[in-house]
Chains A and B, each alone.
Chain A
């Protein structure tokens, strides 16, 4: 169906090719997951399938990409629209019309599909993706998961044989991600559509995959079975790493497979000491909380985003705020910052009202960190931060170097990787010596190494006496990073407790290890490895 023949892609202005001599074939009806670190060329690989690379992006493509018998050299993306449906990372950015039904019809209108056929296909697609009740809704009012399904539907209506998805679940909460992925697997199983998908969170998709395209970061790509690809890869999701640790064969890819193999391990662990869950800094519990927010109310028009939320965080604690999209996570973080909006309640840091504290006591890294940056180089941004916060020159740069070492000072902030940009903004925000650090969805777009680095940074900040609050959907990240989890729903706190207490029994928020080893409260592979080593079990 898709054939890459010795493809080498080099973008204008770069010396090294992004993809080098890629030679592989993806068969019809396959669900293929493209795996690799940030910057390994995943988006380039996907773009090459429908000709956006190089027709739209520029650059040089050597070799041939043949899709359903059509060579992309001779066919620009618009002539492949009836064969390849492509959904980008941000579905909202790709919408052309303004209601669901018109959006579904748009691609067919371009292809001059007759009106009666269009009518029929729109109805079929609405049912196929379970969005029939949304047909008249304006696209901007949909939730993230709904938007993603509409975006998939809008490229499905011309009946393409191939669907290309670039990180379809990166912005979604676990439940919405599940909805989208089940819609995709239905397309593969029922309609035999070939799906090629890039995804950082392998734990969500790998069990559905038939094959994996592994990009190694140096430009080469290999087409492998998921088991082969993950047996040695550092990108493996927790369930695979647990399987490696326990020596299971074949390696389980889904929680279900692992659970059926896990009985001996569970018995072994039952004898071990209770899991070493991340403990707050010593004595944190008896001290007065550093951040003390009381009865927070946030209202947008006639929508109550927060209804009287209380939150207390001690120095040395990392608190994760979870909940579905729109449950009030961002509103909570912004309400804690003096610059944010808040209709009621009080926020105190160390007993003093946060609005009047000088220097500012709260630092917030927003969902799109790039919004904070406007200067031409990293060094200028750092110098500006020093000036704004009244610190001696070099403070910010030193902080940034501690968070993400090795960012070239003359680089434009937009040219940094997601992880580097996050580090830069975190450094800029910490320049004022704030003791409370808030991060809104920091793991979006980070690969697993960058996430590990972020975990280390946040745990380090907490150990240095900061109070850290992270709003996130990423359950595996929470399991490794947070001491405590607060779950919001409809602007109210519905759960607040230690990470193990809150997530272990939750269907949506439990990490894979907890699901495999349930009911024992183990959260991460490292915990398990540590316990086994402590018990003297030789692995």
Chain B
């Protein structure tokens, strides 16, 4: 029996980003809808009951809004001649200075479809990221960071808890304000409510800092001078590599080794710096998420989908960008389709999130398992 446990958040992110990469390589609505279906299927199968896991519907809505905005703006701003006319909107007369900009006018099938495909691609990317957020506890992802970045993680955690506290103390002060009679005028609002809330927040942060200090936060281990110098040179070298690599990748006239190889080398160097720097921060993790076979498989699936789609699309991009002139029904290329469908494997590969009641073997006590 596979015991339920949360999958390492990193594995979910690799899988989701793999699918997102695949989606970014195409505007074919059939492939994009397939990605959406795959993501939705995995989310439905492997999400938990935690508060952050209930947000998938919000991402779907956001995606629909993105598509709608894209389409509406295209209809309003794109009055190009040519193509099959669908209908004509009344055109807003603009002064001569705004030549080249048209608001309203002809709306063509081609323009509308292009906007729809583009919006769909954006929405699919959004859904992939959303799925990662829903499947993996964002805070556990912070915990899984290397120890050199530990303090950044703590800062983010604390910042996340500050927002509800601020709201709470704002409500409290506002209620107290009403006790003194609503004599205050609007322009004093900042002083009357902002000031007490700020002093309250400041007091709290001092208390929190004292409590964290008293509990051992910020302990550092003594490290050799050489190690520190090594960390510094790794990090600076890595950053330089990333800068040059990005530049090389974007500038098509740059020699090839300055592109991807430089970027990868820089990233590797930077990572090494972070790992070596972590020696200064001695800390351990409570119940760390293991990275075991299911994690390898889930991450592998994501990477394979991305890999297949990238390779196929660079060889034969025709199936990935459906033709608009002449208008045609988008084709469904077989290999990418198969790859994307296989992207739904994590729905079975990832361990389940809760125990199901044992069906056959009655009489055996169900295994109680911490989440």
A110 to B283, CA, bound (A): 5
**Interface with A: B75-83, B170-178, B232-240, B257-265, which one?**
B170-178
Interface centre among B164, B177, B192, B215 (most CB of A within 10 A): B215
**Contact of B208 with A by CB under 8 A:** yes
- A285 CB to closest chain B CB (Å) equals 30
**Interface with A: B96-104, B153-161, B358-366, which one?**
B153-161
**Contact of B191 with A by CB under 8 A:** yes
A108 to B284, CA, bound (A): 8
| Interface bracket on A | 35 or more
Output the nearest chain A residue to B139 by Cβ-Cβ distance. A98
**Contact of B204 with A by CB under 8 A:** yes
Pairwise interchain contact B210-A88, C-beta atoms closer than 8 A = yes
Partner of B286, one of A77, A119, A387: A119
Q: How many residues does chain B have at the interface if contact means C-beta atoms less than 8 Å apart?
A: 46
Pairwise interchain contact B172-A115, C-beta atoms closer than 8 A = no
**Interface with A: B56-64, B179-187, B243-251, B312-320, which one?**
B179-187
Pairwise interchain contact A109-B214, C-beta atoms closer than 8 A = no
A105 to B216, CA, bound (A): 12
Pairwise interchain contact A366-B179, C-beta atoms closer than 8 A = yes
A140 to B212, CA, bound (A): 18
A119 to B191, CA, bound (A): 48
Partner of A96, one of B175, B196, B212, B218: B212
Pairwise interchain contact A113-B284, C-beta atoms closer than 8 A = yes
Pairwise interchain contact B286-A109, C-beta atoms closer than 8 A = yes
Q: Which residues of B sit under 8 angstroms from A340, Cβ to Cβ?
A: 175
Residues of A10-29 contacting chain B, CB below 8 A: none
Output the nearest chain A residue to B161 by Cβ-Cβ distance. A98
Pairwise interchain contact A432-B286, C-beta atoms closer than 8 A = no
A110 to B139, CA, bound (A): 17
**Interface with B: A367-375, A447-455, A518-526, which one?**
A367-375
Pairwise interchain contact A360-B181, C-beta atoms closer than 8 A = yes
- B205 CB to closest chain A CB (Å) equals 9
**Contact of A93 with B by CB under 8 A:** yes
A140 to B214, CA, bound (A): 21
Q: Which residues of A sit under 8 angstroms from B324, Cβ to Cβ?
A: none
A112 to B216, CA, bound (A): 10
Residues of B210-224 contacting chain A, CB below 8 A: 210-219
Pairwise interchain contact A115-B180, C-beta atoms closer than 8 A = no
Pairwise interchain contact A94-B216, C-beta atoms closer than 8 A = no
**Contact of B166 with A by CB under 8 A:** no
- A239 CB to closest chain B CB (Å) equals 34
**Contact of B287 with A by CB under 8 A:** yes
Known: A98-B161, A366-B175. A78 touches B210 (CB 8 A): no
Pairwise interchain contact A371-B173, C-beta atoms closer than 8 A = yes
**Contact of B288 with A by CB under 8 A:** yes
Output the nearest chain B residue to A432 by Cβ-Cβ distance. B181
A108 to B286, CA, bound (A): 8
Q: Which residues of A sit under 8 angstroms from B209, Cβ to Cβ?
A: 56
A93 to B199, CA, bound (A): 14
Pairwise interchain contact B157-A86, C-beta atoms closer than 8 A = no
**Contact of A364 with B by CB under 8 A:** yes
- A81 CB to closest chain B CB (Å) equals 3
Pairwise interchain contact A109-B287, C-beta atoms closer than 8 A = no
Pairwise interchain contact B196-A388, C-beta atoms closer than 8 A = no
Q: Which residues of A sit under 8 angstroms from B288, Cβ to Cβ?
A: 115
**Contact of A233 with B by CB under 8 A:** no
Known: A93-B204, A366-B175, A374-B191. A79 touches B219 (CB 8 A): yes
Contact flags A260-283 to B (C-beta < 8 A → 1, else 0): 000000000000000000000000
Q: Which residues of A sit under 8 angstroms from B371, Cβ to Cβ?
A: 136
Pairwise interchain contact B175-A334, C-beta atoms closer than 8 A = yes
Q: Which residues of A sit under 8 angstroms from B139, Cβ to Cβ?
A: 98
A61 to B139, CA, bound (A): 40
Partner of A88, one of B172, B179, B211, B282: B211
A80 to B214, CA, bound (A): 7
Known: A78-B217, A154-B215, A389-B181. A115 touches B173 (CB 8 A): no
Interface residues of A (CB under 8 A from B): 50, 52, 55-56, 76-82, 84-86, 88, 90, 93-98, 101-102, 105-115, 118-119, 122, 136, 140, 154-155, 158, 334, 337, 339-340, 360, 363-364, 366, 368, 370-374, 385, 387-389, 414, 428-429, 432
Name 28 interchain pairs, CB-CB below 8 A, sorted by A: A78-B216, A79-B219, A81-B215, A81-B219, A85-B214, A93-B203, A93-B211, A94-B207, A94-B210, A96-B158, A98-B161, A106-B215, A107-B215, A110-B215, A110-B217, A110-B218, A111-B219, A112-B282, A112-B284, A115-B285, A122-B286, A155-B214, A339-B179, A366-B179, A372-B176, A372-B179, A372-B180, A429-B180
A-B pairs with lowest CB-CB distance, top 10 = A94-B211, A81-B216, A105-B286, A339-B178, A110-B216, A371-B176, A388-B183, A93-B207, A107-B215, A112-B282
